[in-house]
């Protein structure tokens, strides 16, 4: 009986750890790529900086020498799980008020990169992007994308769908290197919501679309049969001691009042008995 009781207790504790690893409350920092609720989670550790970059699509700022690049993107379509036809690398930095993202989209045929122009939130040409599940609750997320021509896309993600009508205030530019096109982004922390904790653990996803190949590559590969988009995000850690999340927004408006004196002769808006 003693062994059985302890076995039940151990099973419950293992379940509790698994549950809290998958949701925003009770998050335990991860040390390496891991499995959470049956899903493989790639891990990325962000680096805090004190010298923010100039967002111009040129990665020559000193801060981009800090932190680590993460590659290993794999095909989602057309051939799920196959190596990507082109190399992609991602880096995420932060300071107290902003997240900074750089994506290098290497291409062995730069002239074939599709740089179609389009309106904001238009999926046109080659695209790279990053998504954050900043509550790590696998329910809502924020996506920021740039096309090769510099078109911005921002999308509010939720279980079973997304909303392109959400427009955040953020900054992004694209540029070109010898063997890659580059996306550089700055996302103010005021544009997203997260727990007011000193140590943050978020979900993170990054992707790339190569239009001429009709190919989507992903940093943390999802399954085409996935039951929930956000469940398949990887994990970003290392974001610590940032400004507190503000959950109240103010929408300015004005209120006017007109007083018309009945003694004003000749005013056509005065009703007369």
- pLDDT tens-digit profile of 175-207? 999 999 999 999 999 999 999 999 999 999 999
Residue 69 · residue 89 · CB < 8 Å: yes
3 state DSSP class of 273: coil
Strand partners, 226: none
What CATH number is given for 33-240 in this structure?
2.60.40.1190
Strand partners, 138: none
Characterize the bridge pairing of strands 43-45 and 234-240: parallel
Q: Domain limits of the chain?
A: 33-240
Characterize the bridge pairing of strands 47-48 and 88-94: parallel
If you average pLDDT over residues 235-245, what whole number do you get?
91
What is the secondary structure of 225-266 as a DSSP string?
A: T-S-GGGG-EEEEEEESPPPPP---------------TT-TT
Give me the percent of the chain exceeding a pLDDT of 90: 67
Residue 242 · residue 49 · CB < 8 Å: no
**Is it the case that residue 13 has pLDDT exceeding 90?**
no
Confidence class for position 17, pLDDT limits 50, 70, 90: very low
Q: Cα–Cα distance between 131 and 150 in angstroms, integer?
A: 18
If you average pLDDT over residues 252-257, what whole number do you get?
54
Residue 160 · residue 140 · CB < 8 Å: no
Q: Cα–Cα distance between 11 and 14 in angstroms, integer?
A: 5
* pLDDT (tens digit per residue) in 221-238: 988 877 678 888 999 999
Residues 6+ apart with CB under 8 A from 108: 86, 179
- Give the tokens for residue 113: 């990169």
Q: Identify the pLDDT of residue 243.
A: 87
Strand partners, 142: 132, 156
Helix (H) or strand (E) holding 92: strand 88-94
3 state DSSP class of 181: strand
Lowest mean pLDDT among 16-20, 33-37, 94-98: 16-20
- Give the tokens for residue 84: 């990507």
Q: Identify the pLDDT of residue 161.
A: 84
Lowest mean pLDDT among 1-10, 34-43, 219-228: 1-10
Which of the residue ranges 14-28, 36-50, 180-194, 224-238 has the most confident prediction, judged by mean pLDDT? Answer: 180-194
The structure's pTM equals 0.79
Comparing 270 with 54, the larger pLDDT belongs to 54
Q: Cα–Cα distance between 37 and 28 in angstroms, integer?
A: 14
Half-sphere exposure of 137 (CA within 13 A, CB side): 13
Comparing 25 with 190, the larger pLDDT belongs to 190
Closest CA to 133 of 124, 142, 145, 125: 142
Angstrom distances, CA of residue 18 to CA of 35, 39, 184, 195: 9, 11, 35, 20
Residue 160 · residue 127 · CB < 8 Å: no
Confidence class for position 264, pLDDT limits 50, 70, 90: low
- Give the tokens for residue 235: 């994990």
């Amino acid at each position: 009986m003693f062994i059985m009781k302890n076995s039940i207790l151990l099973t419950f504790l293992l379940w509790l750890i698994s549950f809290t690893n998958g949701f925003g409350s009770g998050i335990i920092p991860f040390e390496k790529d891991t499995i959470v609720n049956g899903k493989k989670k790639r891990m990325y550790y962000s680096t805090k900086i004190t010298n923010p970059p100039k967002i111009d699509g040129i990665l020559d700022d000193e801060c981009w020498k800090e932190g680590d690049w993460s590659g290993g993107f794999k095909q989602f379509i057309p051939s799920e799980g196959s190596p990507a036809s082109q190399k992609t690398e991602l880096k995420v930095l932060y300071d107290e008020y902003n997240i900074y993202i750089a994506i290098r989209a290497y291409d062995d045929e730069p002239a074939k990169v599709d740089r179609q122009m389009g309106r904001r939130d238009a999926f046109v040409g080659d695209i790279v992007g990053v998504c954050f599940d900043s509550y790590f609750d696998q329910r809502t997320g924020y996506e920021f994308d740039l096309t090769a021509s510099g078109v911005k896309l921002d999308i509010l993600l939720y279980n079973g769908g997304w909303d392109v009508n959400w427009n955040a205030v953020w900054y992004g530019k694209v540029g070109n290197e010898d063997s890659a096109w580059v996306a550089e982004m700055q996302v103010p922390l005021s544009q997203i919501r997260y727990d007011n904790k000193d140590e943050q653990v978020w979900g993170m996803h990054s992707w790339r679309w190569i239009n001429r190949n009709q190919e989507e590559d992903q940093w943390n590969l999802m399954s085409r049969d996935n039951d929930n988009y956000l469940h398949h995000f990887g994990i970003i850690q290392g974001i610590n001691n940032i400004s507190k999340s503000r959950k109240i927004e103010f929408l300015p408006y004005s209120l006017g009042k007109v007083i018309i004196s009945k003694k004003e002769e000749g005013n056509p808006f005065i009703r007369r008995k």
